[in-house]
Structures are given as C-alpha cells and as structure tokens.
Amino acid sequence: PPRRRLNRRRLLGGGAVAAGAAGIGWGARALTTRDEPPPTSAIEPFYGTHQSGVATDPQSHAAFVAFDLKPGTHRDDLIGVLKIWTGDAARLTQGRPALADTEPELAQRPSRLTVTVGLGPAVFTVAGLEHHRPSWLRPLPPFDIDRLESAWSDGDLLVQVCADEATTVSHAVRVLSRSVSSLVSVRWVQRGFRNAEPGRTPRNLMGQVDGTVNIAPGTDFDRLVWDDGAAQPWLAGGTSCVLRRIAMTLDTWDEIDQEGRELTVGRRIADGAPLTGSGEFDEPDFAAVDANGIPVIPPSSHIARAHHTHEGERFLRRGYNYDDAPAPGRISNSGLLFAAYQRDVDAQFLPVQRRLAEFDALNVWTTPVGSAVFVIPPGVPSPGGYLGQSLFE
Ligand code: HEM
C-alpha cells in the first residue's frame, strides 16, 4: 500500500492517532543510527546442507507459526511463498533488513536468528506431489491422553523462528507473515522461551532440569536426525518436526512434595541427576532396587517410560516453555512446546509417544492440547536457490 507521510503539523494536531488507527505506517527511512554490522557471534548461517534451527544451539526465544494455504493456491504460489521466505530469511538472519522491511532498524540485532521452514501434508496435495510425500507425514494418531484443540494443531506450512532476543523474533515473524499474506493465512502462533546459558541444561516450568538425555551434533545426530534421501531423494539433508503443545497443571503439581516430584520423573529436582546416580549426566540404572527390592527409579516414571528401547528410537528434543494468559478464573496457562526432530516420525518418535500415552506418571499433570507434524526440507546450499527447491524440480 502507498505510504503516507506524517508531518509535524498533523502529529501535533492529533492526526497520528487517527493515522495509526487507520494502519498508516511511517515512511521507509534510510538506516542512520547503529548501522554497523552485527558481531559475527550473533549470526547463525543461513546457507548450508541443512536448515539452521535444528542442530543450532537452542536460542532463548522461539515462535512457531503455522500457516494455511488460501483456497485456490497452486504449485507456483507455493514456490513463490518459499522463494519469498528464502529471501527474507537469508537477509534477516545475517542482520540485514528484508526487502520492503518497514522497520529495518529491528534487523540490526540478529541475535543468532534462525528461520526454519516446514511443509505440512497439504503441500503435497496442492502441488500434485503426493508421490514425494514422506510416508510418516500425517497427523499423529489420536492418543487417550490428548485433548487437542484445532487452534494449536496441524497446518500447511511452518515457520520456526528462534533468536536470543524476543524483539528479533517478533520482527522476523512479522516480516515473514506479512510478505506472503496474499497467499497464506496465519493458523496459529506459539511462542516460547528457555534458559539459554551455554553448557547448562535448562529447566521447564515444573522446575525440572529438562533436556539432559539428548542427541548432540557430532555424535549419532546425523544418522538420527538428517534424512539420507534413501526413500525420497529430494529430502536428503532434511528432517521432520513434531510439535506437541503440552499444558502443565501447575496448581496440582504444587501440591506434590519434593520426593513425589522426583519419583514422578525418576530424577532429582536439585540437579537433574537420576535417582540412582550423583551427577546429572550419570547413566540411570533402571534395574537398581532398594533394600526392600523396590526399583529406585519407578518403572512408571517419565524417564523409565521415555527411555529408548533400542538405539533407533532416539530423536532430538529442542523444546520451549510457554506461559500465556490464563483463562478467566484460572491462575496459570503454562506448559511445554515439545519440539522433536527425527528423520522418521513413525520409527523414532511414535513408539516413545505411544508408550508415554499408555502410561507415564507425569501424565497426571500434563495434557497435550496441540499437535502438528511437518517435513523440514534440506537447507539452501548457496545463494540463488530456494527452500524446498529439490521437491519441485
Ligand atoms: C526426559 C520432562 C514430555 C520424551 C525428560 C526429563 C524431564 C522431562 C524432566 C528428564 C531430563 C532429560 O533427560 O531431559 C517432560 C515434560 C513433558 C515431557 C515436563 C511434558 C510437559 C515428553 C514427551 C516425550 C518425551 C511428549 C516424547 C514423546 C522424553 C525422552 C526423555 C525425556 C525421550 C529422555 C529419557 C531417557 O532416556 O532418560 N522429560 N517431558 N517427553 N523425555 Fe520428557
């Protein structure tokens, strides 16, 4: 839309309020202040074999945004959206404003910004590419513990935006949502945060050290997370994201004493050590029993149930806490944006989720209220390419 200038006279006459209400922006300005390049420590790469935001050391703020394709959207529109997001992300992540950025100053602090794009099942239908759809790309089967709300579930496209500053996340989300608003509509936005102290495992809002047992880049990570293209050659270097929004019932969790809390998870609250160990990273001994022959780590505890039964059942957890406004009469609305990344949802994530849905002592205080599955295409190797290109070629 054409920009209108606000002059001093209109501002002093109260015109700004009216103009603001009408959605009239400030004119685009040249960068005049603080336009020195951002420190390289604040920049995550955009180009590469894989998209950033998966193996990336988790930043402290995240927004997961799902979009729905507007009716009548075709294959070329999809390619258009992906090209626009590629251009926006390539610039914003490197501390440069997007094209037609209305707040270019906000791009100057990338704060390790990453933009990770995912595709939902409908993309393959709309683009006439069903034969390229990974076999696991569909909503998870329903579980008895689920109380899913459509407001937090599914979606045709995902944009995961992470950075160490919330302002940076907001700006990137706004740019990425606005630049494609004629073709897609926002379905849901889920914002989260986590402690991002290097070398220290963060805590979730139940107070537990959360993220101890995970797969780290440089280990089995490549094999467990990145697709090798064996089933779908276009997906080599890509992965999947399962996002579960899990509400915590903190008011009743508050009633449980320390010992009860520790038996529920199988780890100590103070330092996250397994009940059979003394340090956070000690291997839990699920076979250990006390003097009465009772297991030290209860078989019903979260870690006993979630622990992989074979190596191929592991995946990357990269979750964020959420803490939203409570409903009338309630005092909290908190939980976990549980984000899991794996090359095969059916083989890695699903068996663990099934086990937890069947029984997990933690289920008394946790309720899945949202669920979505996306394929994360490989990265853009170099300038000139676009996200998802290998799918459409
Ligand atoms: C471990 C919390 C949901 C899978 C843990 C730990 C905590 C925790 C405190 C122990 C520390 C660690 O290793 O990170 C929670 C909370 C949840 C939740 C509060 C819900 C609000 C889930 C879900 C899954 C899952 C939905 C998978 C479907 C795992 C796995 C481990 C784990 C695989 C490591 C188990 C091991 O091998 O020791 N979780 N979790 N968690 N959780 Fe969860």
- Give per-residue pLDDT as tens, 261-280: 999 999 999 999 999 999 99
Contact 175, 116 (CB under 8 A): no
Q: Alpha-carbon distance 190 to 254, whole Å?
A: 25
Q: Is 241 helix (H, G, I), strand (E, B) or coil?
A: strand
What average pLDDT does this structure show over 60-76? 97
Q: Is 204 in the pocket of ligand 1 (CB under 6 A)?
A: yes
**Dist CA 260 CA 267 (whole Å):** 11
Complex ipTM > 0.90: yes
| Identity of the residue numbered 260 | G
Which tops the pLDDT comparison, 26 or 220?
220
Residue of 303, 313, 354 to test ligand 1 pocket, by largest number of atoms within 8 Å of CB:
303
- Mean pLDDT score across all residues of the chain: 93
Whole-number Å distance, alpha carbon 281 to ligand 1 midpoint, is 15
Residue 337 beta carbon below 6 angstroms from any ligand 1 atom:
no
In angstroms, rounded to a whole number, what is the distance separating the alpha carbons of residues 376 and 364?
32
> Does the beta carbon of 342 sit less than 6 angstroms from any atom of ligand 1?
no
Model pLDDT for residues 128-146, shown as the tens digit of each residue: 999 999 999 999 999 999 9
- Between the CA of 334 and the centroid of ligand 1 the distance, in Å, is 16
The answer for residues whose C-beta is within 8 angstroms of residue 73's C-beta and 6 or more apart is: 126, 183, 184
Rounded to the nearest angstrom, the gap between the alpha carbon of residue 278 and the centroid of all alpha carbons in its chain is 32
Q: 101, 210, 344, 360: which is the annotated catalytic residue?
A: 210
Alpha-carbon distance 30 to 222, whole Å? 43
306 lines ligand 1 (CB under 6 A): yes
Pocket test for ligand 1, best of 147, 194, 209, 210 (most atoms within 8 A of CB): 210
**Strand ranges (E), 136-264:** 157-163, 184-193, 239-248
Ligand 1 atom index nearest CA of 284: 38
Ligand 1 atom nearest to 208, measured from its CA: 9
206 lines ligand 1 (CB under 6 A): yes
> Which pTM value belongs to this model?
0.93
Kindly state if the Cβ of 246 falls inside 6 Å of ligand 1: yes
How many angstroms separate the alpha carbon of residue 341 from the centre of ligand 1? 14
**Angle at alpha carbon of residue 149, lines to 147 and 127, rounded to 5°:** 125
**Among the listed residues 321, 337, 324, the one whose alpha carbon sits nearest the alpha carbon of residue 245:** 337
Residue having the nearest C-alpha atom to atom 24 of ligand 1: 353
Dist. CA 68 → ligand 1 center (Å): 30
CA distance 39 to 43: 7
Identify the band that residue 10 occupies on the pLDDT scale cut at 50, 70 and 90. low
- First-to-last CA distance in the chain? 34
In one letter, which amino acid is 340?
A: A
Whether 210 is a known active-site residue: answer yes
CB atoms closer than 10 angstroms to residue 165: 18
Beta strands in 279-387 (DSSP E): 316-317, 320-324, 333-342, 366-376
Contacts of 278 (CB under 8 A, 6+ apart): none
- CA 4 → CA 13, 334, 380, distances in Å? 16, 42, 37
Handedness of CA 341, 133, 123, 152 (dihedral sign): negative
Residue of minimum CA distance from atom 18 in ligand 1: 338
Distance CA 276, CA 255 (A): 25
- For 167-221, the pLDDT digits (tens) are 999 999 999 999 999 999 999 999 999 998 888 999 999 999 999 999 998 889 9
